[in-house]
Every structure is written in C-alpha cells, then in structure tokens.
Structure 1
Amino acid sequence: MPKRNLLFLILILVCCWGIAQPTRAQALLPHTLRLDLKKLEQQGVGLAQEASQLAQFQQYELALQRAKLATQLAPKSSEVWALLGALHLQTNGLDDGIAALKKAQTLDGKNSAVLFALGSAHFQKEKYAQAVEYITEGLKIKPNVSGALFDLGNAYLMLRKYPDAISQYEKAVAQDKNFWPAINNIGLINYESGNLDEAIRRWQSAADIDPKAAEPRLAIAVATYTKGDREKGLSLGESAIRLDSRYADLKFLKENLWGDRLLEDTKKLLDAPKIRATIVQLQERPSRTQRPPSR
C-alpha cells in the first residue's frame, strides 16, 4: 500500500497536544528581559499550535509559515522544531525536514516521534539502512507503535530482508488486528517468494478488513489471473480499478512497494482489452475525490 503519512500525523498530534511551555535558566537576566523572552516563547508555542491545527486541515503551506516563525520565537522547543520538520516532509522538503528534525533531536534525544519521523524521511530518500536505525531507536523508547513497526517492516522489505520485514508486520498486526496494510505487505513478500496461494490468503484477509481497499483486491486479481483463471482475474481486476483507478498505474504500484515479479504479472492483466477499456472509461469521467493513500 502507499507510503503513508501516519507517522507525520502522530508527530502532529504530539505537537498539537504535547507542546510544553519552554523553560530555561534565566537567573542572570534582568526581570523585564526574562518576561519579554517568556512572552516571545509563548507566542512561538501558540503559533506552533496554530500550525498543527492548520496541518490537520491539510493547509500545509500556511502551517509551514507559522512553524518557521515559531522556531524563531521558541528556538529551544524540540516540539516546535519537530513540527517544522514534519511539515517540511509533508511538503516534500526532505533535506529541510531532516535538518529541523535533527535540531529537535539535539534538544530532546528521547522523543520517539522525532526518531520515527527521521526514519520516514530517510526512507523517502531511499536510505533504507538509516531508516531502520532511526525507527529502531524510536521503538526502544516507545515500543509497540503499530505505524512505526509497519514503517520498519517497509524498510526491511526494501532491503530485501524479508524475514525481518514479516516479523515487523506481524508485530504491527499484533498491536492492531485491523491494520490491514501490514497484512497486505506480507502478501507482497509471499508473491515475490513464489508463494501465490499464501499471498492470496493474506490479501483476502486485508480485503475483508476494509471493503473499500483497492490494493489487496487488485493483487488478488493479478494472482488469480496469473494462476490461469483469466475470467475471474479480469472481473476482480476491473472491480478493484473502479474502486481506485490510481492502481492501474504501474509507477504508482512500484511506489507502493510492489515487487518486480508482481509488477510484471500486473502489466499482463492491465494490458488485457477488458481492463484497458475500463481504464479508458475511468479516465474519461470527470475527476472526483479518491480515497487517500494509506502508506
């Protein structure tokens, strides 16, 4: 499934509800200056909270502007820097996001959300080994976070460390039995390993959890088609694409961690005349809001 913004949302929630009023030793400063600094810091925290709220309504650019100013007013707040970093990640500013998150880490090395976000950022930069390191460190501080376990599994998947990936996905499901993306991705590994029946079983479990999830349904369609039941595979594939036409794009599927073997077989299904006709029909329809990616 797609690379999700779950860790970003976790970080936003931390910042929204967990920003503490910054404090620091100011005993040698004049009383008036201490009050002015405190007022500025409070204003910075207030701006960060506004930014967090804007982000929840997907007003990312406005949120980013406020977060930048907040770091100037409250430069000692790790939460404010973390929020800025998360917003940079959300707006594809990976390098700026990593820089801000590392600043947050310097101020508070025990903030698990910052470590998770750094892992997510390095994953997006395709630095999977570093992603593993950051997420693992975060899990030492706050274990059993299903989203972090899932992201760790994804990093192992990209490193082709399949047993480690499956282990993390299973841990994620143990924390949340309805976390179908982890079940789905175990199916991706099964397929690449040549175990089509087990892959179908996993994908069916994922589809049963979310009746509107297009990804596991398309994967089942591809596996069914590949096993020789062409008519059923085509029917399932058409239904899946009608749920979310983005999954008819091989590039989109690759971004969602589909492996080479599955992509090759998917192309055969998508090239079938019945599926091509469905894709053309959907492209001719007026654009409408689609379900957001889940990864």
Structure 2
Amino acid sequence: MPNRNILLSFFLTLGISQFSIPANGQVLLPYTPQLDMEQLELQGLKMAEEASQLVRFQQHDHALSRAKLAVQLAPQKYQPWFILGTLYVMKQDLDLGINALKKSLDLEPKEITIKFTLGNAYFQQGKYQLAAIELEEGLEIKPNTSSAQFDLGNTYFKLGQMQKSMIAYQQAVAAQVDFWPAINNIGLIKYEQGNKEEAIAQWRRALKINSEQAEPKLALGVALYSQGQKEQGIQLGKTALKLDHKYRDLEYLHENLWGKKLLKDTQKFLSEPEVDIFINQLK
C-alpha cells in the first residue's frame, strides 16, 4: 500500500485547485471596517495556499504553522480548515484532523475533497462505516477519483465486503490504468479466494507499472515459492525485503490487508533458511 500521505497530498492538491484567491486589485477600495475583514480573509487564504505549497515540498511543520494562522485570519472560509485538517491527519493527530475537516465541511458541504480526506481519516481511526459513508458520498459526485476508489476498496476490505472491495479497486484502475496499488490489492483478494494464478498475474501487472515496489514483489515471490518455484520466489522476496525492510513483519503485512492464506504462506517463506539468514543480515 502506498504511503497514506501520498494519497492525502493528492486530495489536498485536488481541493486547493478548486479555489482561487482574489487579486489585490479587487480589494483596493477606501478603508472600511468591512474591507479590513476582507483583507484579513484574503491574507488567511494566501496563508492557506502557502501551506499547501509547503506540503508539496514535505515541509509539514512549516505548513502546519501557516495553516493554524490561516484559520485565525479566515475562520469562515472552508479552505484553511481543510488544509489544517489534512495536515493533522498526515501527522496522525486524527482527532484534531477530523474536527478541522468537519468544520471545513460545515462551511462548504458540497466540497467532495473534504469528504475524501475525512473518509481517509476515519479509516485510519478504524471507523470503517463512517469512512465508507464519506467516501461513497464523495464518489457519487466524482466517481473517477482513483485514490478515493482505492480508499473505499480498502474500507470494504476491512468490513469484509470483498465483492464491493473488488469493484472499488477495479473502478480505481478504470479511472487510472497505472494505479498499481489497486491492482496489487486485487491480487490480495484473488489469493484469498484461492485463485493464485490470477493473483500472480495481478502482481506481475503491478510490477510492470512500477518494478521498484516492494509489496507486489514480495507477494509474487511468496506465491511462486508456495507453488514450488523456490529459487525464483526467494530471489524476488529478497529483492523486495531489501527495498523495504518493514515487509518482513507479518503484523505490518496484516495492516496492509494481507489475508490469512497469504500470511500463512509468507510465514513459511520467511522461515526458509536462506531467507532467514538474509533477513538477519539486513538487521
């Protein structure tokens, strides 16, 4: 599964692209108290835009300080609250993030990117029913959003609704043909359904899109190993573990939606003497 902050950054970029800041010439009028408030709001919106730019450069702490100031300057505008909420979610301050996103949604109930981000936050809290509601409502308006379809697929997966999960992943790929995380997760479902050949095909497809992704590489290695193609499976698995050490942890794999059958085969794979020695060398 890709880093969640990558998906959140996508939602943030999508949301920011849908609002514009008035040009300075639009507010160059004689001084009035009302105008002063408009200028404060304008400054708040500019701060919010600066925060979103800083996120793109991975400067999250600086972005957060600007977003906090932005909501003080423009508390009745949804954009600063949206950016602040997204940043809190990125930093795993989920309660603060959800509260800010709810405030943003109150101010602009039709803004779907808020719903997508809120759904992502609820998913991370383990509140899968709430996550599904927000994602479904957003996707009714903008169905061809691959990242949101992927999040919805993950949510259905956690709820045990595998058929709906599969459909959501397929729709993510239909919206973006090179969206390898959804292709990878289709493989996870196929493996649990006992269709190893189709799972292998999906993981090969994902790796054809991005050959440097550890998750489909390890999954493919484990699948081939379980079918008796030990040499090829071990080589793929070792390459995957070298790319990302976290994938040697079964709990981490479980969090990334690896099912019982695949985890059982992975445990056998990790116990293979050659793989075990390799892992100890990585440590």
Above 0.5 in TM-score?
yes
| Aligned match of 1:64 | 64
Asked if residue 99 in structure 1 is aligned to residue 99 in structure 2, the reply is yes
Task: Evaluate the alpha carbon distance shift between residue 125 and residue 48 of structure 1 in structure 2; reply closer, same or farther with a 3 A threshold.
Answer: same
Say whether the 8 Å CA contact 1:10–1:113 is kept in structure 2. no
Matched-pair contact (CA < 8 Å) for 1:222–1:265: yes
Contact 1:180 1:210 in 2 (8 A): yes
TM-score after normalising by structure 2: 0.92
Indicate if the aligned counterparts of 1:190 and 1:199 stay in contact, CA closer than 8 A. Answer: yes
- Residue 147 of structure 1 corresponds to 147
Q: How big is the shift at 1:31? A: 5.7
Taking a change above 3 Å as real, the CA distance of residues 15 and 51 of structure 1, as seen in their structure-2 partners, is farther
Structure 2 match to 1:200: 200
Asked if 1:129 corresponds to 2:129, the answer is: yes
- Whether the aligned pair in 2 keeps the contact of 1:6 and 1:147 (CA below 8 Å) is no
Question: 1:110 touches 1:141 (CA, 8 Å); kept in 2?
Answer: no
Unpaired segments ≥5 residues, structure 1: 23-29, 284-295
Question: Within 5 Å, which residues of 2 pair with 1:127-276?
Answer: 127-276=127-276
Amino acid at match of 2:194: G
Aligned-partner residue type, residue 123 of structure 2 = F
Amino acid at match of 2:279: I
Runs of 4+ in 1 over 3 A off after TM superposition: 14-22
Aligned position for 1:288:
none
- 1:263, CA displacement in angstroms? 1.5
C-alpha distance in 2, partners of 1:3/1:282? 22
Letter matched to residue 106 of structure 1: D
- RMSD (Å), alpha carbons: 1.8
Q: 2:235 and 2:37 mapped to 1: Cα distance?
A: 65
CA distance in 2, matches of 1:212, 1:183: 15
Q: Which has the higher contact order (CA 8 A, sep 6+)?
A: 1
Cα distance change, pair 258–2 in 1 and its aligned pair in 2 (3 A): farther
Compute the TM-score of the two structures, normalised by the length of structure 1: 0.88
Supply the AA of the counterpart residue of 1:192: E
> For the Cα contact (< 8 Å) 1:191–1:199, is it kept in 2?
yes
Q: Give SS of 1:267's match.
A: helix
Tell me which residue corresponds to 2:113: 113
2:32 counterpart SS class: helix
Deviation at 1:172, TM superposition (A): 0.9
Q: Which whole-Å CA distance do the structure 1 matches of 2:209 and 2:68 have between them?
A: 40
Q: What do residues 87-126 of structure 1 show as CA deviations (whole Å, max 9, x unaligned)? A: 0000001011111111111111110100000110010011
CA distance in 2, matches of 1:15, 1:216: 30
Amino acid at match of 2:213: A
Q: Percent identity?
A: 48
Aligned to 2:26: none
On the 8 A contact 2:21/2:46 being kept in 1, the answer is no
Q: Take 2:104 and 2:174, find their aligned partners in 1: how far apart are those partners? A: 30
Closer, same or farther: CA 15–172 of 1 in aligned 2, 3 Å: closer
